[in-house]
Structure 1
Amino acid sequence: MKNNFVEVFFEYAKIIVIALVISLLVRTYVAEARFIPSESMLPTIKIGDRLIIDKIFYEIKGNKDLQRGDIVVFDPPPAAQSNDGIPFIKRVIALPGETVSVIKGTVYINGEPLYEPYILEKPASDFKPYTVPGNMLFVMGDNRNHSNDSRYWGPVPVQNIIGKAEFRYFPFNDIGVLR
């Protein structure tokens, strides 16, 4: 009887350890869930939303397929003064080598106005032309007047990108792919 109990115990323990290892590998290299604590991405992403972040896409591609409009999660650069270590979420606005500016509420990329149907309201302040250095991204929140972003602390190094926000799984009435 005691021998049977030990066998059953070790069988369950083995299953639990395998499940934990798989879970850890998925969270580290494939995808992870994130809770959104701020209003900087309103109306696209609301406070309390829960998202799936695709990490494998950026691992495989080596951050080479980043595009304007991608919503990315990243470790903030030192100038962002994030003492809590919580990653940021913002939208990619300008890519390496592009010049970004804000004039009278309109964002310009290389002198051309950027079509932005996703923003809550136009930025209240102007931003002088800035050329994004190589291996860097210029990011902004969709809630332009309530977002701490590249306008204030500069570009984000590409290597700081954790992954792309792809899917909202909570709240249930707003489940779907992010755009």
Structure 2
Amino acid sequence: MFQRAVLGFLSGIGTAIKYVCVTHCVLEYGGDFIVCTGPSMEPTIISNDILFTEHISPRLHRLKKNDIIIAKSPSNPRQHICKRITATEGEKVRHGFTTYVVPKGHIWLEGDNNSNSADSRLYGPIPEGLVRSRAICKVWPFRDITLLTTNHMQHD
């Protein structure tokens, strides 16, 4: 009787571990939900909006101009940033009186709220390796559910 209870308990633990592993893999390699804070992407994304993001495009180097991405901050690696890709490698970017050429393996990021965004205009182009995910859609608040992919967004 005791042996049967122990085997049942261990079987339950094994099943729980399997589900945890599958969940981890889906969230790490597939996609996840992100809460965005701060005003830098207004009016597209308001502070505390929740986004669904996917991790496949950055891993396959399939990021495009106008994609909204989540990346490690180049100035604080413990913080993540949400910005729009405004230029990719080889493209020229003018900021003030300076023209930058985005180097190979880098992207230029800017917030939609240009007057209140710390972005590539401050820290320059960032390595694509800092990008964690690409935003697919805004899922919260429900009244503002919106696709954020470049096929459905126009940004000047």
Partner of 2:101: 131
Local SS of the residue matching 2:25: helix
CA distance in structure 2 between the partners assigned to 1:40 and 1:97 by the alignment: 25
Partners of 1:56 and 1:131 in 2: CA distance: 26
Letter aligned with residue 16 of structure 2: I
The residue correspondences of 1:1-179 to structure 2 (distance < 5 A) are 1-59=1-59, 61=60, 63=61, 65-77=62-74, 81-82=75-76, 85-102=78-95, 126=96, 128-178=98-148, 179=153
1:127·1:151 contact (CA, 8 Å) conserved in 2? no
Task: Say if 2:57 and 2:63, in contact at 8 Å, map to a contact too.
Answer: no
The total of aligned residue pairs comes to 149
Closer, same or farther: CA 57–136 of 1 in aligned 2, 3 Å: closer
Q: 1:12-53 CA distances to partner (integer Å, 9 max, x unpaired)? A: 212211111011111221112111111111111111111122
Per the alignment, in what secondary structure is the counterpart of residue 37 of structure 1? coil
When residues 129 and 52 of structure 1 are mapped into structure 2, their CA distance, relative to the original with a 3 A threshold, is same
- Relative to structure 1, is the Cα distance of residues 9 and 31 closer, same or farther in structure 2, using a 3 angstrom cutoff? same
Q: Any gaps of 5 or more consecutive residues in structure 1?
A: 103-125
CA distance in 1, matches of 2:100, 2:45: 27
Residue type of the alignment partner of 1:33? F
TM-score by length of 1: 0.76
Q: Percent identity?
A: 29
Partner in structure 2 of residue 110 of structure 1 = none
- The 3-state SS of whatever aligns with 1:3 is helix
Q: Which runs of 4+ in 1 moved over 4 A?
A: none
Following superposition, the deviation at residue 148 of structure 1 comes to 0.3
Contact 1:76 1:87 in 2 (8 A): yes
RMSD of Structure 2 on Structure 1 (CA): 1.7
| 1:105-129 per-position Cα deviation (integer Å, ceiling 9, x unaligned) | xxxxxxxxxxxxxxxxxxxxx4632
